Amino acid sequence: MSTHSREYRLDGIYRQRQESFYMQRVKLTAGVISADQARAVASVSTRFGRGTLHLTTRGSIEIHWLEEADLPAVKRSLAAVGLTSRGACGGAVRGVTCASQGAVGFPAVEAMARRLHRHFTANPRFERFPKKFKIGVEADAASRRHLIQDAGLVLSASGEGGTHYDLYVAGGLGREPQPGFLFEAGVCENRVIPLIEAIACVYVAHTPAGKRLKHLTRTIGEAEFRRLVALEPSAAEELPPVSGLPEHLTPVAAARIVASVPLGELSSARLTDLADFAAQWSDGFLMVTANQDIAFHLSVESDSDEAVSALQRTGFSASQVTFRVCPGTHNCLAGLSPTRDIASTVIEAMGPTAQGLSWALSGCPNSCTQPQLADVGIVTTTLVKDESGERTTRFDLYRGNGQGFGTVVAKSLTLEELCHAVRAIG
């Protein structure tokens, strides 16, 4: 193992479970990537990896099976098309996400996500944090993704009086799920960046290594946290308004279509097909969705029926079952279960009612697939030894009701018990 592997994290690189192999995570702001960039990612995967890609629930793309000697060339290849991975892993401001790409307010949200990305990425003031710092910008609160960010913004007003956001802070999932709380309602867009700067400064100054912002607010309390943030010089600062051309890149959606990517796994050849589709139908941009699919906002001159037929001819269709899945033991060092195999088994056990629900499976309690936000969430927990000494994977089952976080309804199930519970849903 390289002695540099921890240092690689700020470049968006984690060691894989398999000795000597690395994963490169590519940051995509609000999940948006151009057709040329998508072709470059596919090319990197084919040339340096094994031609396989993983779409994440935070709208990033992961390239697996890279060797250490090739990492600088991978970085150069991505930089050549304007892509960065800086801060995609490790203690930094991670990729700025958006789970409401199909909402009317998405252009404003995409523009804000781009400003945040520009400001916080590769800025040494916002690296080497105690742990990751996640920002998400949403056009509405429907997905509840604003509750799982260190700083989660929800568009609250947009018009002649300017654009405003409700700011939620200190949320997170993992082993200690905690919904974010409303820090300030109706923050003017020109105050968003300085206010998040102030929050990040308090986080860095007062939080022990390895802990998220949610740990700090739990420890010192909301009132003390607010007091500390107010003491930061940037907390009340207002930046000049942004002027110039619109900052969003995707077409203002006349229609949106989604190509299902089962279990978030995509070959580089298939990503190239989707890039070619985007070049023809959606002004050359495609989007990684929060459910690990690829979406397109059709350009105004595109006929949506023709576009759907063209997408089907490439072999893609709408999703049959919404099922978010992380790499688990297939690639991830922290994984406790072979998530793709488990997901396939669970899907086979589903009846029609279950197929109509949203599902998420995480390979360990880190909960990267956000199982607490699905209708049905599955978290791989511990490996326990049975009487014969065999190690057995267990699963906690969560049910959500569309509000807040889902809760555990059954603990430590075997795979057989899990499938029984899935069949019982109908």
Task: State the Cα angle at 60 between 246 and 355, rounded to 5°.
Answer: 110
Residues in the chain: 426
Q: Mention every residue, 6+ apart, whose C-beta is less than 8 A from residue 309.
A: none
**For 120, left (φ over 0), alpha (ψ -120 to 50), or beta?**
alpha
Residue 334 interacts with ligand SF4 (CB under 6 A): yes or no = yes
177 near ligand SF4, rule: CB under 6 A:
no
- Per CB under 6 A, contacts with ligand SF4 among 309-328 are 326-328
Our CA angle for 350, 356, 359, nearest 5°, is 70
Nearer to ligand SF4, 107 or 406 (CB): 406
Minimum distance of ligand SF4 from residue 250's CB (angstroms): 27
Looking at beta carbons only, is 195 or 266 nearer to ligand SF4? Answer: 266
Q: Closest approach of Cβ 393 to ligand SF4, in Å?
A: 12
Of 268, 303, 254, 272, nearest to 35 (Cα)?
272
Q: DSSP class of residue 156? A: E
Size of the site for ligand SF4 (CB under 6 A): 12
Please report, in angstroms and rounded to a whole number, the separation of the first and last CA atoms in the chain: 47
Instruction: Mention every residue, 6+ apart, whose C-beta is less than 8 A from residue 351.
Output: 423, 425, 426
Among 148, 249, 266, 332, binds ligand SF4 (CB under 6 A): 332
Residue whose entry in the numeric block shows the structure tokens 């949106």: 256
Report, in Å, the least distance between residue 6 CB and ligand SF4.
16
Binding ligand SF4 (rule: CB under 6 A), the pick from 51, 59, 87, 335 is 335
Q: Is 368 in the site for ligand SF4 (CB under 6 A)?
A: yes
The answer to the question of residue 378 lying near ligand SF4 (CB under 6 A) is no
- Angle, helices 106-120 vs 189-206, to 10°: value is 40
Question: Which residue's entry shows tokens 């970085």?
Answer: 75
Give ∠ CA 321-323-325 in degrees, rounded to 5: 150
Contact region for ligand SF4 (CB under 6 A) — 89-97, 105-113, 234-242, 330-338? 330-338
Range in contact with ligand SF4 (rule: CB under 6 A) among 126-134, 300-308, 362-370, 388-396 = 362-370
Interacting stretch for ligand SF4, rule CB under 6 A, among 118-126, 228-236, 365-373, 416-424?
365-373
- Give yes or no for residue 95 binding ligand SF4 (CB under 6 A): no
Q: Does 35 bind ligand SF4 (CB under 6 A)?
A: no
Cβ-based nearer residue to ligand SF4, 156 or 366? 366
Residue with tokens 């589903």: 350
**Closer residue to ligand SF4, CB minimum distance, 307 or 326:** 326
- Should residue 59 be labelled a site residue for ligand SF4 when binding is judged by CB under 6 A? no
Selected range binding ligand SF4 among 8-16, 102-110, 366-374, 416-424, rule: CB under 6 A:
366-374
| CA 383 to chain CA mean position, Å | 27
Quote the least distance from Cβ 326 to ligand SF4, whole Å: 3
Contact between 16 and ligand SF4 by CB under 6 A: the answer reads no
Gap between the Cα atoms of 167 and 195, Å rounded: 10
364 binds ligand SF4 (CB under 6 A): yes
Tell me if 148 contacts ligand SF4 by CB under 6 A. no
- The piece of 121-129, 132-140, 329-337, 417-425 that touches ligand SF4 (CB under 6 A) is 329-337
Least CB distance from residue 134 to ligand SF4, whole Å? 13
DSSP labels for 379-403?
EEEEEEE-TTS-EEEEEEEEE--SS
Rg (CA), the chain: 21
Does 264 sit near ligand SF4 (CB under 6 A)?
Answer: no
CB of 389 to ligand SF4, least distance (A): 24
In the complex with ligand SF4, the residue whose CB is nearer, 40 or 342, is: 342
Which is nearer to ligand SF4, 139 or 368 (by Cβ)?
368
For residues 122 and 334, which CB has a smaller minimum distance to ligand SF4 in the complex? Answer: 334
Report the C-alpha gap between 100 and 180 in whole angstroms.
18
Q: In what order do the strands lie in the sheet with 162-169?
A: 135-138, 151-159, 162-169, 181-188
Residue 363 binding ligand SF4, by CB under 6 A: yes
Q: Token pair of 63, please? A: 């390239």
Alpha helices, DSSP H only, in 236-338? 268-281, 304-313
Pairing of strands 162-169, 151-159: antiparallel
Angle in degrees, CA 285, 356, 347, rounded to 5: 90
Closer Cβ to ligand SF4, 255 or 364, answer by number: 364
- Footprint of ligand SF4 (CB under 6 A): 326-328, 332, 334-335, 362-364, 366-368
